[in-house]
Chain A
């Protein structure tokens, strides 16, 4: 029976680290991509969105009026609305909206003007292209103007009957945020931190897990290393430590990169002046550190599981095809934790990935439920230990190592 030898594990780890640092593909996937991905993605998304919003805001929407021949005063009032271009009626108005030739259409009901005069209520319909930003803007503009027109009529009617305006508005409603900027930030973009740490610690482990197992078989170095006196237990542990290091490095670099991107964008003039704290990075370093501590056993679990699965493959490509479905296994519970209404319960605390993702969401807002934290940390440690045991056992199976 082999015993654990830290010196031997260290020799394997140092060698694997040397090779890892010399591999351009590794450096790109572990260091360059996480460092550049977030600044590029976030600034790209923000600039594209602001360009699109700017264009939509600047555009004078084309709007068509349907019917309303018997309501000339209403039509005249509509034509007074600024920044709207009214186009003549056409029977194919629905197609024109769908084809983005016009942004919206307003249907005036039959006898509308007469109804207004008699005090009867009718419905004015606005047609638009849902999900299309320019159509959305156009429809909102029309709706706002019609509301103003409606308010004007209400005010005139109240005045005619000598009733004060406060009769229809007995009180005002105002919403104010009571949570600290840290909590707002944690519930906003902060909830993604746990998710990102989990996903990236998995993707960071994937490439080295393949390279150190199936890659080694494909290159013919597996037989070389197996002929050395190192025990398979120490060999697996040395390799595992490298995969684990890669996993952590990717996650740490990604969070630093994501954190700084959000920090700079959140403190940019536009967002800072908007007062929206959910887009600002006001998270405490202790919370982020706590998230990493919770993610540690999960990272161990990923590293060991990915290595075990990749070891079954004979080639790098084969291992990639085995591990691709693993991405869904990790992404689905991680995404589920982000859904509204999914809250931590004793049962969910035992489901790996989902439990860590949920507790990270709480930690990041500064809420520490110590019982849940202990249960989740302990259960994930048990899963991680089982995964390492499985990896060691798999490395001792000749049918896996020399699969033909």
Chain B
């Protein structure tokens, strides 16, 4: 389970002064459910997810991931999390198998368990054809599969995906979407950010709309449709963001 409690992140910018990238954001993601974080570029999605994955430390507030505090026990949080984004690249000079094994070892798996886990994952994701190929020689699809295997190797109960399909072709994106769906079926807690509406409609059990670092609306897709009297998710976002914009102007 993920429980964000007033998560905030401020950055200092030489030109713009203090920037509130994430401002007092609270939400809960349940096991076996997918929580979608929606918003435009620069809305604060990536910063929020990075704080949940303990890559960044919150300026204020905290989050509890699998019973561990992201501020107090970041290493324990990371041991329970699989984090995947288009920015999480692979080591070019390691083979696909070495890459997955490296992360298995970093997650404390013993050699026997690691071998079994790697074999299972490589069979399940149909990766045996390129397990000894260096990552810089892999196709985009193979790279994404290796990244998935890397996040799965320690079988984490929480999965965090930051715009995982951005820039990918249809077939590779489909692999990722299927994988996210399978994570839910396995009872994992899943949070993912995107600005592709079809993915949200297809996958998310609940949705949070974030803009200017603030969580402006939250609920299931049906609840949001009822609340904003719009069927189309894109229109709902425009309404949510527009209302906030009008309020701030006033």
Contact = CB atoms under 8 A, between A and B. Distances in A.
B93 A230 contact: no
Q: Taking chain A's interface residues, is the majority helix, strand, or loop, or is none over half, making it mixed?
A: helix
B94 A227 contact: no
B50 to A, nearest CB: 8
B26 interface: no
Contacts of B85: 223
B108 A229 contact: yes
Interface in A345-404: 398-399, 402
A220 B89 contact: yes
B89 A8 contact: no
Given A2-B75, A15-B94, A18-B94, A228 B89 contact: no
A19 B184 CA distance: 35
Contacts of A231: 75
Interface in B44-102: 53, 55-57, 75-76, 78-79, 81, 83, 85, 87-94, 98, 102
Given A15-B102, A19-B93, A227 B87 contact: no
A402 to B, nearest CB: 7
B106 interface: yes
Nearest to A401: B55
A239 to B, nearest CB: 13
Q: Which of B53, B106, B150 has the most chain A CB within a 10 Å cutoff?
A: B106
A22 interface: yes
Nearest to A226: B55
B88 A224 contact: yes
Nearest to B11: A399
Interface residues of B, number: 30
B106 A18 contact: no
Contacts of B130: none
A23 interface: yes
Interface string A20-32: 0011000000000
A224 B106 contact: no
Q: Contact residue range for chain A?
A: 20 to 34
B175 interface: no
Contacts of A2: 75
A380 to B, nearest CB: 33
Contacts of A402: 56
B24 interface: no
B78 A224 contact: no
B93 A228 contact: no
A50 interface: no
A28 B105 CA distance: 30
B94 A8 contact: no
A398 to B, nearest CB: 6
A22 B93 contact: yes
A79 interface: no
A167 to B, nearest CB: 82
A228 B75 CA distance: 8
Contact of B102 (A11, A22, A398): A11
Given A224-B88, A229-B79, 18 more contacts: A11-B105, A12-B106, A15-B94, A15-B102, A18-B94, A18-B98, A19-B93, A23-B93, A221-B89, A223-B55, A223-B88, A224-B91, A227-B53, A227-B55, A228-B106, A228-B107, A229-B106, A230-B106
Q: Which 6 A-B pairs have the closest CB atoms?
A: A220-B89, A227-B83, A229-B79, A224-B88, A229-B78, A19-B93
20 contacts: A8-B106, A11-B105, A15-B91, A19-B91, A19-B93, A19-B94, A219-B89, A219-B92, A221-B89, A224-B88, A224-B90, A224-B91, A224-B150, A227-B81, A228-B78, A228-B103, A229-B76, A229-B108, A398-B57, A402-B56
